[in-house]
Amino acid sequence: MRHDFTRLLFALLGLSVAAGCDSDDTKELSYAYGPMPVNFTVRGKVTDAQQRPVAGIEVQALLKEDKVGRTLTDAAGEYRIPLPGFPEIDCLFLDIDGAANGSFEEQRHTVRLTEEAGEDGSVELNATLEEKRPQ
């Protein structure tokens, strides 16, 4: 009797594992144990109204309102953010250092990665920031 119960238990466990492996959630579960693969790169240049590069601008990649990537522009105003295979993200450009490089309004742009990416998986997104007006 005990042997039959053990066999039944293992059979039920086997069915539940097999059923779990057949679900559409398997892809998401595999990311729980390591970094998500990089499928896309958003890159570009940030300039001011006179087309001068702006260094020190924080560029955030947002999925809904969750930050999934961030970087700062370099001395040439350039940035690069590697991202997993999200279909669409928002890029938020923030002046985080105050008046050190000028004072700029924030900008937000939606990027449809799956539609806009080139063959190499990259999307170019340049931004021209407007200076904040004194209040």
Whether 13 shows a pLDDT value over 50: the answer reads no
* Cα angle for residues 41, 47, 53 (degrees, 5° grid): 95
| Residue 38, pLDDT score | 64
* Cα angle for residues 130, 62, 74 (degrees, 5° grid): 50
Q: What is the pLDDT of residues 74-125, one digit of tens each?
A: 999 999 999 988 889 999 999 987 666 678 999 999 999 989 999 899 999 9
Higher model confidence: residue 44 or residue 37? 44
- pTM reported for the whole predicted model: 0.69
